[in-house]
Amino acid sequence: MAQMNEKLKGIIFDKDGTLFDYAQVWEDVLKEGIDSAFVSMGKAGHQKAKKAMLHLMGIDEHGDSLPKGLLFTHRPFRIFRRFLTYCIRYRVNAIKAIRAYHQSVQNSEAILSRKLSKMDFSIQQTLFSNLKKQGYSIGIITNDNASSTSLFLSLMGLSEYVDFVSCRDSHYKKKPHPQAFQEFCKQQGLGTNQVAMVGDTITDMLFAKRAKAGYTIALLSGSNDKKSLRRLSDVVYPDISALLTDKRLFPAL
């Protein structure tokens, strides 16, 4: 838990599950990707296996996030083990499944563009605008790739507010290693204790802790792992809209 005595001058956001509700954006994309993958594997009719795949990834049949989903895990061995167990149980060829998954990822940007263009991001735009008016430097540090991240920020109307972006294909080490956080601080001339971190997963919270962030905010709009997030953060909110009334970020409120 951070010390609450330093004036905050910077803020870093994760992307998926933080800037927006994860399942709301990604559910349709994942379903379409899974359907396409099973068609390419000649298993289009295997509804039970497709449903189980969606659960494995981290979204249930009601469109809610599952904290233990692979999408919210950044431990390679755990991901490999659970994926292999799934393939054995449902008699899915692991190599074909991986190839099909990578193909679906390549096709996802067109689906995302259609989805995002219909959504209202006025709350996020207001928040980022207010942060800039308060003099904050804003960073985005995500394990998504640069192309997808650029697409999101553009369609959400946030690109103009962002001072720093680190993605999976940037040359910085991935979260929870603090290298990207430290680089943000270096470029913006800030101490780590002057920077707030906003995220939705245990990885984000560990990232903030290792970087010695000044303030750590957890949102339940991604992994929804309430128990772990409460233990590792300074404050927990339902979603990003709550930041507009956070008195640590906006002391004048």
CATH of 10-20+120-245, one of 3.40.50.150, 3.40.50.720, 3.40.50.1000, 3.30.420.40: 3.40.50.1000
pLDDT average, residue stretch 102-124: 83
Per-residue HEC secondary structure of 20-72 comes to CCHHHHHHHHHHHHHHHHHHHCCCCCCHHHHHHHHHHHCECCCCCECCCCHHH
Nearest to 163 by CA among 123, 211, 195: 195
Least confident stretch, 15-29, 38-52, 58-72, 191-205 = 58-72
Residues near 62 by Cβ (< 8 Å), separated by ≥ 6? none
Across the chain, what does the average pLDDT equal? Answer: 90
CA–CA–CA angle 106, 107, 109 (5° rounding): 90
- Could you read off the pLDDT of 173-203 as tens digits, one per residue? 999 999 999 999 999 999 999 999 999 999 9
pLDDT, position 5: 65
pLDDT, position 100: 73
pLDDT, position 104: 66
Q: Tokens standing for 215?
A: 């303030």
pLDDT, position 167: 96
Q: Which residues pair with 137 in a beta bridge?
A: 10
Q: Tokens standing for 207?
A: 């990232």
| Positions of CATH 3.40.50.1000 in the chain | 10-20+120-245
Cα separation, 34 vs 44, in Å, equals: 10
Q: Tokens standing for 4?
A: 């609450």
Q: What is the pTM of this model?
A: 0.84
Residue 3 in this model has a pLDDT that exceeds 70:
no
- Could you read off the pLDDT of 202-223 as tens digits, one per residue? 999 999 999 999 999 999 999 8
| CB contact at 8 A, 224 and 67 | yes
Task: Identify the band that residue 105 occupies on the pLDDT scale cut at 50, 70 and 90.
Answer: low
SS3 call for 216: strand
Residue 113 in this model has a pLDDT that exceeds 70:
yes
Least confident stretch, 65-69, 162-166, 187-191 = 65-69
pLDDT, position 12: 98
